[in-house]
Chains A and B, each alone.
Chain A
Amino acid sequence: MLKIDNLHVRVAGKEILKGLTLQVNAGEVHAIMGPNGAGKSTLGNVLAGREGYEVTQGSVSYNGTNLLELEPEQRAAAGVFLAFQYPVEIPGVNNTYFLKAALNAQRKYRGEAELDSMQFLKSVREKLRVLHIPDDLMNRAVNAGFSGGEKKRNEIFQMALLEPKLAILDETDSGLDIDALRMVADGVNAMRYPQRAFVVITHYQRLLDYIVPDFVHVMVDGRIVESGDKSLALKLEEHGYAWIAERKLAGAA
């Protein structure tokens, strides 16, 4: 589904990703862990198509197409979803209106029939119920005045509604209390199915207790330096990232 090969990315003249290679197949959940500044969020932003990220080398193929050539909205329509680390507050823009516009734009792009208001609201109510989110969320402006936890839950709600094929969760666990974390994880787990893949970016092993990954990758200084199964996350929790850095140095020597 997703094939990242030797990806180099510069941000504001500074090289952040330095030859990242990663393959994600449909149905898999990949966790990407690593210390601050390793380039984890850069990866998420590059995949979603944010401006200001200059790809200097390497390629990203998504279901056989060059993902880097697509506009952000085309990537969304093709099934790529980024749950933001810092969801943006947009006062004055109503949540219902925004999500209906987003969903129907995606459907139109894919050549599917647009949903009318009744169909849309029915779908919205179902997803809200599954995620235990109160209905009034839909009458509020996008993320405006939301608490940190509400914003993250709204990201997961949007993901549930838009039903992407590749969901990238950028530190969705940060700032969540244990109940909210469980709710977010339940939302993600309910969406796991053979045609959908997840890339879960996180600092902490805690989230992976609830969203059990198929693969764990450790990212240091713009590269994946270690990959393994879920036990790798536990080792990291025990030894810290310094352990990986030392191993990496030893390997290089």
Chain B
Amino acid sequence: MRGLPSASWLARPEMDAVLDKEAWRYSERAWNALHAQEFTAANTPALLPGSLVEQFDWPETRARRVVFVNGEATATAELHLSDGERLHLVFISVPDAQPARWSLDLPITVETGSAEVVEQHIGLDGTEILGELTSHVRVGAGARLRMTTLGDLPDSVSLYRRANVSIDAGGAYSSTHALFGGRLQRFDIDVDMAGEQASYVSRGVFAPRGRQHIDVHLDARHSARDTRSDVLWRGIADQRGRGILHGAITVAAGADGADAQLQTKNLLLSPHAEIDAQPVLEIYADEVKASHGATVGQLDERALFYLRSRGVPLAAARNLLIAGFCREAFADLGDVALSARLEAVLARRLPQAQESAR
């Protein structure tokens, strides 16, 4: 057994040297669990089955990657990201000796410059686990943080994520989320545009199917002048899937010049699927530009006929439309490698939705 540091090592500067190589970190419990399943331990990646490794082992992020397996019982890692930093956090849930729960607290700070975090949640089938991740994000004056969340979970895993984000003057926080799978996924994010001209962009797709439940609560608060929020989400529910998207925007008194846009569109692929979309707009300032809209509907029959009339078979036409519907949320991502990853998740997750919807 090697000496495995707790996640708090992340805060220590000497660990940067370790991170620069290829950082693979496992909790002792996870190690034991994995060991019990007789995964070979010849080298670190081989500790995990290939089906998991290929989901996160991207060449672009290999140098700055941290892998948590079943988290820690309680752990705190504090991340101070420097300019140009690009960090890939992978949270893996695997079957354990007993039903388990992991909980992580993850403060992330970007003081200056521009940084990027990819947060990925994956797991193995049959994992009875509840993961809990709390992140406190602070974006300093003029700094930028781009965050991408990829949640692609087996049906038995539940995940509860909370994020509190505070953006100082001129800072920018932009986030893209793809939430697929899991028994229950709940994602709460509170964003405070605390300083003048702070900006918040949120893009997301969530797609519950089977008996999955995905619950998203977005709360954006314009506390200062000339702040900007732009929220665009897409929801797709199939079978008995249940989705909730609560999107609230508050423009505080004195936050004049705020620009707030919130748009969610949702697609139901089965008569038993349900999505509750709730946009809330509270405005206490005088000079504000705000718009919000939420729709829940079915596939556009006209578009379906258009595709079929050109020769695309029904099932493929449905696939095209559903993928296109999601892709709208990822249109301005601008990162080719990351777009490709999102496409791969869509491809893996969406076609099944069609077959069952017939």
Q: Do the two chains bind?
A: yes
Interface residues of A (CB under 8 A from B): 48-51, 71-73, 75-77, 81-82, 84, 87-88, 90-93, 97-99, 101-103, 105-106, 109, 141-142, 158, 162
| CB atoms of A77 and B307 under 8 A apart | no
A77 close to B311 (CB less than 8 A): yes
CB pair B307–A102 under 8 Å, yes or no, is yes
Q: Which residue of B lies closest to A72 (CB)?
A: B308
CA A50 to CA B303, docked complex, whole Å: 11
**In the bound complex, do residue B310 and residue A76 qualify as a contact, i.e. CB atoms below 8 Å apart?**
yes
* Given A50-B305, A72-B305, A88-B302, A99:B324 Cβ within 8 A: no
**Ranked 10 nearest A-B pairs via Cβ:** A92-B324, A76-B311, A93-B324, A106-B311, A72-B308, A102-B310, A92-B327, A88-B306, A102-B311, A92-B328
Q: Which of A50, A88, A105 contacts B312 (CB 8 A)?
A: A105
In the bound complex, CA of A145 to CA of B327 (Å): 16
A76 close to B326 (CB less than 8 A) = no
A73, B312: Cβ atoms closer than 8 Å = yes
In the complex, are the beta carbons of A98 and B309 less than 8 A apart? no
Task: List, sorted by A's number, 9 A–B pairs whose CB atoms are closer than 8 Å.
Answer: A48-B305, A50-B305, A51-B305, A88-B302, A92-B331, A93-B323, A93-B327, A101-B320, A102-B310
Q: Taking the nearest CB of chain A, how far is it from the CB of B155, in angstroms?
A: 27
- Indicate if the CB atoms of B306 and A84 lie closer than 8 Å: yes
Measured CA separation A97–B316 after assembly (Å): 12
Main secondary structure of the interface of B (DSSP, over half): helix
Measured CA separation A185–B145 after assembly (Å)? 53
Q: How large is the interface on B (under 10, 10 to 19, 20 to 34, 35 or more residues)?
A: 20 to 34
Q: Give the Cβ gap from A91 to chain B, nearest Cβ, in Å.
A: 6
How far in angstroms is the closest Cβ of chain B from A12?
Answer: 14
Instruction: Tell me whether A98 and B331 are in contact in the complex, defined as CB-CB below 8 angstroms, given that A88-B303, A91-B324, A93-B324 are known contacts.
Output: no
CB-CB under 8 A from A102, the residues of chain B are: 307, 310-312
Q: Are B311 and A109 in contact (CB under 8 A)?
A: yes
List the interface of chain B (C-beta within 8 A of A): 300-303, 305-314, 316-317, 320-321, 323-328, 331
A82 to B303, CA, bound (A): 14
Determine the residue in chain A with the shortest Cβ distance to B322. Answer: A92
Q: Is the CB of B316 within 8 A of A87?
A: no
- Check B303 against A105 for contact (C-beta < 8 Å): no
Chain A residue with the shortest CB-CB distance to B308? A72
Which of A51, A71, A98, A141 is close to B310, meaning CB atoms less than 8 Å apart? A98
A91 to B307, CA, bound (A): 13
Choose from A48, A71, A93 the contact partner of B314 (Cβ within 8 Å).
A71
Measured between alpha carbons, how far is A76 from B316 in the docked complex, in Å?
15
Contacts of A49 in B (CB 8 A): 305, 308-309
